[in-house]
Amino acid sequence: MSTHSGLPVAGYKPQSSDRVNVVNANKQVEEVVLRQLDAMKDDPSIDQRWLAIGRTQIEQGFMAVNRAVFQPGRIKLATD
């Protein structure tokens, strides 16, 4: 199992290939769902407000799941 460098963002650490594969699989599933929602956007019989709320919550859910996998940490500030 290889290790990938952490993102060039504070708080992210190196990740195993397994974890990267899990997040990439999650991103594939997310894209399928988002494309379904994109297709619904042109249907005037669908309540667009609720569609937008659902989309936001789905995006937040995938972000939370991927964060659970990568487990970014807190960072030190200059004032610490």
Tell me if 57 is assigned to some domain. yes
- The CA distance from 74 to 54, in Å, is 29
Q: What is the mean pLDDT of residues 10-33?
A: 94
User: Does pLDDT of 35 surpass 70?
Assistant: yes
User: Does pLDDT of 7 surpass 90?
Assistant: no
What pLDDT is recorded for position 5?
Answer: 73
User: Where in the sequence is the domain holding 66, given as residue range(s)?
Assistant: 17-70
User: Does pLDDT of 1 surpass 90?
Assistant: no
Tell me if 2 is assigned to some domain. no
How many domains does the chain contain in total?
A: 1
| Amino acid found at 64 | A
Total Cβ atoms within 10 A of residue 15: 20
Long-range contacts of 10-18 (CB under 8 A, 24+ apart): 10/75, 11/72, 11/73, 11/74, 11/75, 12/70, 12/72, 13/71, 13/72, 13/73, 15/70
User: Does pLDDT of 76 surpass 70?
Assistant: yes
What pLDDT is recorded for position 51?
Answer: 98
Which residues on neighbouring strands pair with residue 3, listed in sequence order?
16
Tell me if 52 is assigned to some domain. yes
What pLDDT is recorded for position 65?
Answer: 98
